[in-house]
Chain A
Amino acid sequence: MSKTTFSLGGVHPSDVKIAREKAIEVLPLPQTVYISMAQHLGAPATPCVAVGDQVKAGQVIAEPSGFISAFVHSSVSGTVKSIGARKDLSGKDMTHIEIAVEGDEWVEGVDLSDTLVTDIPQDKAAVLEKIKACGVVGLGGATFPTHVKLNPAPGSKAECLIINAAECEPYLTCDYRIMLEKTKEILVGAAIMQMVLGGCKTVIGVEDNKPEAIAAFKSAIKELGYQGMEVLPLKKKYPQGGEKQLIDAVMKRQVKSGGLPISVGAVVQNVATALAVYEAVQKNKPLVTNTMTVTGDCLPESGLHNYLFRIGMPLSYIAEYAGGIPSDAAKIISGGPMMGKAISNMDACTVKGSSSLLYLSEKTTKRQSEGSCIRCGKCADACPMGLEPFLLNRLYKVSDMDALEQNAVQDCIECGCCLYSCPAFIPLLDYIRQAKGQVMGIMRARAAAAKAAAESKTENK
C-alpha cells in the first residue's frame, strides 16, 4: 500500500487517540440549552422567535443575516426563556437563545430512525436548498456554510470531492467513531455532494493510524456499489486535515495564495459534514446534533467518552455528566490540542462545530519560558505553508508590515506547527497570528480603496 501525504513541512505529534474504542453515547437532555447565534463562519444569525414562544426540536429559531451565514435550529423542545448576550468560550458576548427543555418533541417530517436511505434525489437545486434550510455548516473546524461551498461560482468546475477523514488532531476520536458507526451514512452523504457537484470523482482521505476506518469505508463502498469513489490512506502527519494540505496530499496540486480550493478543482468536506448532509437530505434532520470526544491525558480510562450532543448544551453540564473535571487538569480545551481553543468559561455552550472537551495536565500543556532563538530553522521545516516563522516573528516585532506581506504572513493557516517545534519555546504563532491579522487588514483596506477608486472612475466616465 503506497501512502501519500502533503509535501511541505508538518510535524508528528503523538496521536494519543485514547478514546478510540469508546462507542458513541447519547447525552441526556439538560434542563436548559443556550443556543448561540454565531455557530458558523460569517455573519451571526438573526433570532426569529420571541421570548415565551414554544419551540420544537428542529424548528428554525434564527435566520441567516447575509450570504455567508446559516440557519440555526432549536435542538430541543420547550419554551424560549430569553434572548440576549451570554459569554462564549473565550468570554466574549454573543447573542444566545435560552430554551427551557420540556419533553423531546421534534418538528414534523424529521426521520429519527436508523434506517439507511440510499435513494439519492437528483434535483441539485432542491438538495442545495435543503442543505441550506437544515443549517449545515462545515464541521471540520471552520464551520463555513456548506451550501455555499457546494455551489461554486459559475465557470469553475469541481474535479474532485475530497472527504476529509484525516482527523489529524491528537486525542480527538469523534470523527473516527462516526466513520465506524455511520460508515454508510457518510458515504451516502458523500454521494449526495458528489451528485450536487456534477458527478466528480470522490476521494476519502483517511490517515493510516485508523486502519479500521479505511477497511470499513472500503467494504461499504463495495457494498453500496458506488462508482468514482475511493478511499485513500494517507501517511500520518499533522496538519493533514488542513484543507490546502489535504488537496496537496490527494491531488498533488497547490491552491494559489489567496485562492479557493475550487480554483484547482477541489472541494473538501469533512466526514461529519457528510453525515450532516445525509441527515439533512435523506432524513430531513437539521444540524442540531454532532459528536464530540471527552478526553485528555489526565482522565482515567472510565472518563473517556465519545458523545452525541445537541447544540446549546452547557460545557459544564457535559463535563459533569462525563464524571467531572479531573483534579489534575491544568487546561480545558474545546477542539484538538494543536488548534483548539482554551476554555476560560465552562458556562459556554456547545455549538455546531464543537468537537471535544479536552483536559490536559500541566506537564503536557504548560508553556515553558521563552528562550533565545538558536536559528535552528525547525519552525521553517515544520511550516506546512513553507513560511519562515522565525522571520515573520522578527518582522512583527519591528512592525514591518510590508516585509510581512512579502514573506506571505497572510498565508499562515495557524496550524501551530512552528510553536510546537520551536526548541526555544518562542510563542511564534501568537505573534504571527497578530501579524497576519494586521496584514490582512491592510490588504482588505487596500482592496476596498482600489475598488472604490475603480468605481469612481467608471462613474466619472
Chain B
Amino acid sequence: MDKYLVSPSPHVHSAVSTKTIMRDVIIALIPALLVSVAVYGWAEIMVLLVSVLSCVLVEFVITKYLLKKPSTIGDLSAVVTGILLAMNLPYTTPWWVVFIGALIAIGVAKMTFGGLGQNVFNPALVGRVFLLVSFPAVMTHWEIPQGFFGADAVTGATLLGRVAEGDSASFVENLEVVPTFIMNVGGSAGEVSALALILGFCYLLIRRVIKPWITLSIFATVGLIGMVFHEFIDPAFTGGIFNILSGGLVLGACFMATDYVTSPMSTKGGIIYGIGIGFLVMMIRYFGSYPEGVSFAILIMNMTVPLLNKWCHQKKYGRD
C-alpha cells in the first residue's frame, strides 16, 4: 500500500459484528427447528421457508426501492425475524397468511420505524399478533401432526386452550411436566420442545450474545405467581412449573423478550422488564380471554423499554 490509513484510536475491533450475532441466534434456534420439523414434517419446512424468504424479500424491496438505500439483508436480522415468526405459527398456516405476517413484521413493525435498531416492537411478534387477530381460526387451529413419525391427523387443542376452556382433566393429565419439557406436541413450532429451546438459549449465553437476566426474571415471576395462585388461592389455577413450560413462554422468554432492539439495555431495566412480562403473561392466562398471553405481554412491555432505558443506568466509575 502506498497510502496508509489514518483514523482515531482504537485501531482494532472485536470479532463480533451484527452479522455474527444474528448468525449465533440462528444457530441457537436450530435445535428447536429440528425438533419441530421432525414432529410436523414438510408442512413446517414450508412455513419456515415462506416466512424467511418473505421477510428477506420484503426488507430487500423496501430498502432498495422504497428507501433507495443500500440493502440491509446482509446483516441476517430479517432471517432471524423470519425464523421467529415461523416458530410462532401453527404448521398448518397457509403460505399466503405466512406472507402477510412477514409483510406486517418487516414492512410495518420494522421498516416504518427506520429499520434495524429503530423498531419499538418485536417484529416477529407484531406479525404473529396481527395474524392472530386477523385470522383467529387459522391461528388457533391445531392439528395433531403427521410429521415424519406418521400419525392420523386429529383436530386438537393446545394444553392451554383446553385449560382455558375449563377442561381440567387434561390439565391434571399434563401435570407430568417432564414429557412436556422434552416434547409437547400440538402448538406452533416454537412450542414443541422447551428442552431444545433452552439448549439454544445456553448456546447464546456461552457465546455471550445475551445476558440471562431477562429470561430468568420472566421464569421466576411466572413460577412464583403460578405457585402462589395454585397453592394458596385456588388449585384450579395452573401451577408455576406448568406455566413456565407450556405455550410459547420458553420461546418468548429465551428468544423474543431478549431481542436487543426491543429490550432494555441495562441489567436493572432488564429485570424490571422481565418481571413485567411474567406478570402480564400470568394475568392474561388466568383472567384474559386469550389462552396465551406471551406475545401480548412482550409487546406491552416493549412499550416501556424507552422509559426503562431512561430510568435505569448502570453504575458509573467514581460516582454515586
User: Does more than half of chain B's interface fall in helix, strand or loop, or is it mixed?
Assistant: loop
Please name all residues of chain A whose beta carbon is closer than 8 Å to the beta carbon of B17 when the two chains form the complex: 368, 371, 423-425
Nearest residue (CB) in B for A379 is B265
8 Å CB contacts to A: which residues of B204-248? none
Nearest residue (CB) in A for B115 is A372
How many B residues are at the interface, by size bracket? 35 or more
B204 → chain A closest CB, angstroms: 12
Question: What total count of A-B pairs have CB within 8 Å?
Answer: 155
Nearest residue (CB) in B for A418 is B10
* Contact indicator B9/A384 (Cβ below 8 Å): no
Nearest residue (CB) in B for A331 is B5
* Contact indicator B318/A340 (Cβ below 8 Å): no
Please name all residues of chain B whose beta carbon is closer than 8 Å to the beta carbon of A414 when the two chains form the complex: 9
A365 to B13, CA, bound (A): 7
* Contact indicator B12/A420 (Cβ below 8 Å): yes
8 Å CB contacts to B: which residues of A247-294? 248, 254-257, 259
A390 to B315, CA, bound (A): 16
- Interface presence of A8 (CB below 8 A): yes
- Interface presence of A227 (CB below 8 A): no
Given contacts A374-B117, A423-B20, contact A257 B8 (CB under 8 A): no
8 Å CB contacts to B: which residues of A421-437? 421, 423-425, 427, 429-430, 433
- Interface presence of A457 (CB below 8 A): no
Chain B 1-41 near chain A by CB (<8 Å), digits 1 or 0:
10011111111111011101100000000000000000000
B184 → chain A closest CB, angstroms: 31
A374 to B5, CA, bound (A): 27
* Contact indicator A342/B5 (Cβ below 8 Å): yes
- Interface presence of B290 (CB below 8 A): no
- Interface presence of B314 (CB below 8 A): yes
Q: Contact partner of B7 among A255, A367, A388, CB < 8 A?
A: A367
Interface of A toward B, CB cutoff 8 Å? 8, 11, 13, 170, 244, 248, 254-257, 259, 327-333, 335, 337-344, 358, 360, 362, 364-368, 371-378, 380, 384-388, 390, 408, 411, 414, 416, 419-421, 423-425, 427, 429-430, 433
19 extra interface residue pairs, beta carbon distance < 8 Å, beyond A388-B265, A420-B14, A430-B8: A8-B317, A11-B14, A170-B12, A244-B317, A244-B318, A255-B318, A331-B6, A337-B11, A337-B12, A340-B11, A342-B8, A372-B116, A372-B117, A375-B117, A378-B16, A387-B316, A408-B316, A416-B10, A423-B17
Could you write out 15 A-B pairs with CB less than 8 Å apart?
Answer: A8-B314, A257-B319, A329-B1, A329-B4, A330-B1, A331-B4, A340-B11, A342-B9, A344-B4, A367-B13, A375-B261, A377-B266, A380-B266, A386-B317, A390-B265
